[in-house]
Chains A and B, each alone.
Chain A
Amino acid sequence: MSNFLQLLFNGLGIGAIYALVSLGFVLLIRAASVVNFGQGEFSMLGAYLLVVFFNIFGINYYVSMALSIVIMAGFGVIFAYTTYWPLRFRGGLPVIISTIGASIFLENLVLVLYGPSSVQIDGLFDADGIQIGDVFLATQYLSIIVIATILVVLQYLVFEKTLLGKKLQATSQDKEMASLLGIPVVFMILITFAYSSAMGGLAGMLVAPLLFVSVNMAGIIALKAFAANIIGGYGSIPGAILGGLALGVIETMGASYISVPYKDAFAFAMLLLFLMVRPQGLFGEKISEKA
């Protein structure tokens, strides 16, 4: 039983990481219909910024995080202007490929600057974790679960309860209509990129103490986060969270009870299963009929 609980907790922890990264995906999908294959690199860059400010410049940890988040937001705007903006009228495929290009570019740029070795970085708290009976709750996993929850609630409130959120939603649903209503569509899209990038960066900073900081730290996580997104329901915020958590738990359980080497296969097999049986995911709207 304690084995099961331990697996469950750590599965939720890793799932919360997928969920966090997935949240960044969702926003871009919702606001700009962009599938960003460079989302993992947002996380990687965020983590490296933290390394620069905290490990190298010795700035206070929380201040370093805040600084990094701000820079990432700015980076999101640059990313939008270079990778998305020139291609925005050419459909989904060119943008997907250009984000793949961006991901290769960023990874190798950082590789040139920092080299391939992983870097260790401290966690949010000094304590390693809490022991409850036979189950160990790692602090960083707990923090990620808590922060992911807070962010989801915040994101929900912003989207559903504020004027800005309404405008963002209107933009994502119908850009032409939104612009007729006087919503600054371009600005809304840039905000989304900035937020998504900051969000990805934050996710990177939170996982950095667990996975260490390296150029390819987020590659597989981003892929699974995207899978989580589809499982949860393409473009759905609660779907991203539940999809992420479900994926984390299922792959941990699957690895433990079925096969460790095939661990990564569980995530993708689950994705394929969902796509075949329930493509709209757990929370997605039914893929609408087109005219």
Chain B
Amino acid sequence: MNGLSTSIWRGLPQAGLAAIIAIGLAMLAPDQGYYLNILMQASTYAIAVVGLVVVLGYCGQISIAQAAFFGIGAYGVAIGTVDYGLNFFVAMLIAVGVSGVFGLILGLGSLRLGGHYLAMVSISFQQILTLVLTNWIEFTHGPDGIRNIPRPRFFGLSLQGGNAFLALCLVAMVLVALFAWRLKATKLGRAMQAVRDNDLAAATSGIDVFGTKVIAFGISAVLGAIGGGLFAGGFGYISPDQFSFAESIVLLTMALLGGVQSPFGALIGTMLLIILPETLRFLKQVYLAVYGAAVILIMVFLPDGLWGFIDDRIRRNARAITLPAPKLPLLSQTGQMGTEKVLEVADLAKHFGGLKAVDGVSFAVRRGSVHALIGPNGSGKSTFINVVTGLYVATAGKISFAGQDITTLSPHQRNRRGLARTFQNIRVFRGMTVLENVMIGAERDGNDVANAPAEVLTRALAALDFVDMRADAHRMVGELSYGHQRYVEIARALAGSPDLLLLDEPAAGLNMTEKVELGNLLKRLKGHGLTILIVDHDMNLVEQVADHITVLNFGRRIADGAPGDVLRHPDVIAAYLGEPRHEVA
């Protein structure tokens, strides 16, 4: 969070400049009438739409309840000022607080639920709120709505006039947009995007997936309420039908149309959807049908919205940027190979119903060693790695890491203690650049540079240098070849200076050349003194790098020791030549 605040403060000059421009624009607008109203509506809606950018665009969580939060803000201000005589800003603060709490609660729903479930939860919340606003007449004034909502004074400055209040709305919009824009490049913002792109990889990169989602929902609800509160002041009258399910869909479409990846997209989308119906009036009823079709077309042809399209063009032209610094040395936890046990598993078991995928396995990985875990298909290797990294809960047994019992910890807690991994089927954050991917690794909590943004960058570049990928730092990771994505994944793990690196079948899916390159990389890692646990079938690769080999079959350890001994072990030979059992996990 420290990184977040410094990074956002650094945006202060831009914010000030933009705010002054906004005030200037507001003063140019007529003091009442159509343009004032349309600007007021657009700016307040835009604030709520930026909220959607955070929760949906950054964090990938669907929320079809933004109009509800907008409504909570509006009603909070209306009820606070009209019924309780509170100061506008005090009422707004309370409303924003209440909305934030509801947002957090909605976020809690994401603990066990994703996608469509979450959509349904947010729809339910939206529907229930509408019913409450309509039927709890004593408190909300019911369907009649609330009128004569006053506009505030701001440090002695009257905001009663249309221009003055519009200035407030525009300044708020600008600040919110800048906040969201800066947020994207902070640790929290990157964590959100990582959760969106790949929640498992995010968890094993030290990100508290659940906490991040909850915070995203909270921020989104707060922004929704700020927009709503200003809306109430701007129009002076609100009623429940302005905050219905249909409005939530409108807000959602605004976000998608403009581009849900950027607050600027949100502004564009909001402006367009408020101005379009005005300009397309000649289409009459057909307008809404056109609009529905446009939603589909946007999803198909402009997946990142209008801003995404523009941004992509800009980025393509600006790709020449390079980072000129000299090649950086990789600073990682290293150690002499010794007797200290970094990882120790004892009688570890994982059962799926009656199937014993891992059945009482014990062994230890010593610091500074390259330890290989091998076995035929279905021998339980992948399950074992998943249990060790916390993706599966162990059925029995104990896992100790650096002397501490981590058996019951969540994946991100294990990562924060220095346990990093890669995946057999590559898991990178496809919506982000190579550099951002690796920065996420570098800024894991528990890393020495975690809260120093400048050093995070250096560390990430060093990791990229190590895998010789710096030239691709600003490319989207999704554009890379499979082999290079593998390197990004390894660099991400390395940047976190792990005590132990788990490589789950790193050679899987690579062609011959890439395999040779990978072998060389592993040798360099070994030379570096990093402790590695590698799982693979490729005996050639394993023989080149391993100091120690453990063999699994049918979920049990059948051999453990120095490579030469293990590979001659009769059980191992039998296991490899015998009938492979059906794949387990």
Interface residues of A, Cβ cutoff 8 Å to B: 35, 82-83, 86-87, 90, 92-94, 96-98, 100-109, 111-112, 223, 226-227, 230, 234, 261-262, 264-265, 268-269, 271-272, 275-276, 279, 287, 289-291
**Cβ of B300 and Cβ of A265 under 8 Å apart?**
no
**Cβ of B295 and Cβ of A101 under 8 Å apart?**
yes
**Cβ of B120 and Cβ of A104 under 8 Å apart?**
no
* Proximity bits, B98-135, A CB within 8 Å = 1, else 0: 00000000000100110111011101110110011011
Bound together, the chains give a CA A93 to CA B134 distance in angstroms of 31
**Cβ of A86 and Cβ of B391 under 8 Å apart?**
no
In the A-B complex, the 10 residue pairs with the smallest Cβ-Cβ separation, listed nearest first, are A101-B295, A105-B292, A104-B292, A268-B124, A108-B289, A108-B288, A35-B116, A101-B296, A98-B299, A86-B300
* Proximity bits, B279-297, A CB within 8 Å = 1, else 0: 0000001111101111110
**Cβ of B127 and Cβ of A100 under 8 Å apart?**
no
Contacts of B112 in A (CB 8 A): 279, 287
Q: In whole Å, how far is A169's beta carbon from the nearest beta carbon of chain B?
A: 20
Within the complex, which residue of A101, A261, A264, A265 is in contact with B292, where a contact is CB–CB below 8 Å?
A: A101
Bound together, the chains give a CA A209 to CA B249 distance in angstroms of 29
Does chain A have a CB within 8 A of B220? no
Known: A98-B300, A279-B117. A262 touches B131 (CB 8 A): yes
**Cβ of A35 and Cβ of B119 under 8 Å apart?**
yes
Interface residues of B, Cβ cutoff 8 Å to A: 60, 62, 109, 112-113, 115-117, 119-121, 123-125, 127-128, 131-132, 134-135, 200, 249, 252-253, 256, 285-289, 291-296, 298-300, 303, 382, 386, 391-392, 585
Bound together, the chains give a CA A94 to CA B62 distance in angstroms of 10
Contacts of A227 in B (CB 8 A): 120, 124
**Cβ of B288 and Cβ of A104 under 8 Å apart?**
yes
Q: In whole Å, how far is A43's beta carbon from the nearest beta carbon of chain B?
A: 17
Bound together, the chains give a CA A271 to CA B126 distance in angstroms of 13
**Cβ of B299 and Cβ of A104 under 8 Å apart?**
no
**Cβ of A104 and Cβ of B295 under 8 Å apart?**
yes
Bound together, the chains give a CA A86 to CA B298 distance in angstroms of 11
Within the complex, which residue of B131, B287, B294, B298 is in contact with A261, where a contact is CB–CB below 8 Å?
A: B131
Contacts of B120 in A (CB 8 A): 226-227, 230, 271, 275
**Cβ of A262 and Cβ of B109 under 8 Å apart?**
no
**Cβ of B293 and Cβ of A105 under 8 Å apart?**
yes
Bound together, the chains give a CA A262 to CA B134 distance in angstroms of 10
Q: In whole Å, how far is B385's beta carbon from the nearest beta carbon of chain A?
A: 10
Known: A101-B295, A111-B285, A291-B382. A90 touches B124 (CB 8 A): no
Contacts of A93 in B (CB 8 A): 60, 62, 115
Bound together, the chains give a CA A269 to CA B132 distance in angstroms of 12
**Cβ of B295 and Cβ of A100 under 8 Å apart?**
yes
> Apart from A96-B62, A275-B120, A290-B200, what 6 extra A-B contacts exist at CB < 8 Å?
A87-B300, A98-B296, A104-B292, A105-B292, A111-B285, A279-B113
Q: What are 29 inter-chain pairs, A to B, with CB distance below 8 A?
A: A82-B296, A87-B300, A90-B303, A93-B60, A96-B116, A97-B252, A97-B256, A98-B296, A100-B295, A101-B296, A101-B298, A105-B292, A105-B296, A106-B292, A107-B288, A108-B285, A109-B289, A109-B292, A226-B120, A234-B117, A262-B131, A264-B131, A265-B132, A268-B125, A268-B127, A272-B124, A276-B109, A291-B386, A291-B585
Bound together, the chains give a CA A103 to CA B256 distance in angstroms of 16
**Cβ of A112 and Cβ of B285 under 8 Å apart?**
yes
**Cβ of B299 and Cβ of A97 under 8 Å apart?**
yes
Q: In whole Å, how far is A95's beta carbon from the nearest beta carbon of chain B?
A: 8
- Specify the chain A residue showing the minimal Cβ separation from B119: A96
Q: In whole Å, how far is A276's beta carbon from the nearest beta carbon of chain B?
A: 7
**Cβ of B299 and Cβ of A108 under 8 Å apart?**
no
**Cβ of B303 and Cβ of A94 under 8 Å apart?**
yes
- Specify the chain B residue showing the minimal Cβ separation from A279: B112
Contacts of A86 in B (CB 8 A): 300
Known: A98-B295, A109-B289. A265 touches B127 (CB 8 A): yes
Q: In whole Å, how far is A243's beta carbon from the nearest beta carbon of chain B?
A: 12
Bound together, the chains give a CA A156 to CA B115 distance in angstroms of 27
Within the complex, which residue of B127, B256, B288, B296 is in contact with A264, where a contact is CB–CB below 8 Å?
A: B127
**Cβ of A100 and Cβ of B109 under 8 Å apart?**
no
Contacts of A264 in B (CB 8 A): 127, 131
Contacts of B117 in A (CB 8 A): 230, 234, 275, 279
Q: In whole Å, how far is A246's beta carbon from the nearest beta carbon of chain B?
A: 16
Contacts of A98 in B (CB 8 A): 295-296, 299-300
- Specify the chain A residue showing the minimal Cβ separation from B200: A290
Bound together, the chains give a CA A287 to CA B114 distance in angstroms of 11
**Cβ of A269 and Cβ of B116 under 8 Å apart?**
no
**Cβ of A92 and Cβ of B116 under 8 Å apart?**
yes
Bound together, the chains give a CA A289 to CA B395 distance in angstroms of 13
**Cβ of A261 and Cβ of B135 under 8 Å apart?**
yes
Contacts of A90 in B (CB 8 A): 303
Contacts of B285 in A (CB 8 A): 108, 111-112
- Specify the chain A residue showing the minimal Cβ separation from B255: A97
Contacts of A276 in B (CB 8 A): 109
Contacts of B62 in A (CB 8 A): 93, 96
- Specify the chain A residue showing the minimal Cβ separation from B424: A291
Within the complex, which residue of B121, B128, B289, B295 is in contact with A275, where a contact is CB–CB below 8 Å?
A: B121
Most B CB contacts (10 A, CB to CB) among A107, A279, A289, A291 go to: A291
**Cβ of B391 and Cβ of A291 under 8 Å apart?**
yes
Bound together, the chains give a CA A6 to CA B253 distance in angstroms of 43
Contacts of B298 in A (CB 8 A): 101
Bound together, the chains give a CA A35 to CA B113 distance in angstroms of 15
Q: In whole Å, how far is A30's beta carbon from the nearest beta carbon of chain B?
A: 13
- Specify the chain B residue showing the minimal Cβ separation from A230: B120
Most B CB contacts (10 A, CB to CB) among A90, A93, A227 go to: A93
**Cβ of B288 and Cβ of A101 under 8 Å apart?**
no
**Cβ of A291 and Cβ of B392 under 8 Å apart?**
yes
**Cβ of B299 and Cβ of A275 under 8 Å apart?**
no
Bound together, the chains give a CA A97 to CA B260 distance in angstroms of 12
**Cβ of A104 and Cβ of B291 under 8 Å apart?**
yes
Contacts of A234 in B (CB 8 A): 116-117
Bound together, the chains give a CA A108 to CA B285 distance in angstroms of 7
Contacts of B303 in A (CB 8 A): 90, 94
- Specify the chain A residue showing the minimal Cβ separation from B300: A86
- Specify the chain A residue showing the minimal Cβ separation from B124: A268
Bound together, the chains give a CA A289 to CA B115 distance in angstroms of 16
Bound together, the chains give a CA A226 to CA B392 distance in angstroms of 31
Q: In whole Å, how far is A89's beta carbon from the nearest beta carbon of chain B?
A: 11
Contacts of B127 in A (CB 8 A): 223, 264-265, 268
Contacts of B124 in A (CB 8 A): 227, 268-269, 271-272
**Cβ of B295 and Cβ of A108 under 8 Å apart?**
no
Contacts of B134 in A (CB 8 A): 261
Bound together, the chains give a CA A93 to CA B115 distance in angstroms of 7
Contacts of A265 in B (CB 8 A): 127-128, 131-132
- Specify the chain A residue showing the minimal Cβ separation from B299: A98
Bound together, the chains give a CA A269 to CA B300 distance in angstroms of 34
Contacts of B293 in A (CB 8 A): 101, 105
Contacts of A112 in B (CB 8 A): 285-286, 289
- Specify the chain B residue showing the minimal Cβ separation from A224: B127
Bound together, the chains give a CA A96 to CA B298 distance in angstroms of 13
Q: In whole Å, how far is A98's beta carbon from the nearest beta carbon of chain B?
A: 4
Known: A93-B60, A291-B391, A291-B392. A101 touches B299 (CB 8 A): yes
Contacts of A262 in B (CB 8 A): 131, 135
Bound together, the chains give a CA A93 to CA B291 distance in angstroms of 19
Bound together, the chains give a CA A92 to CA B292 distance in angstroms of 19
Q: In whole Å, how far is A66's beta carbon from the nearest beta carbon of chain B?
A: 28
Bound together, the chains give a CA A291 to CA B121 distance in angstroms of 25
Within the complex, which residue of A111, A230, A269 is in contact with B288, where a contact is CB–CB below 8 Å?
A: A111
Bound together, the chains give a CA A254 to CA B60 distance in angstroms of 36
- Specify the chain A residue showing the minimal Cβ separation from B196: A93
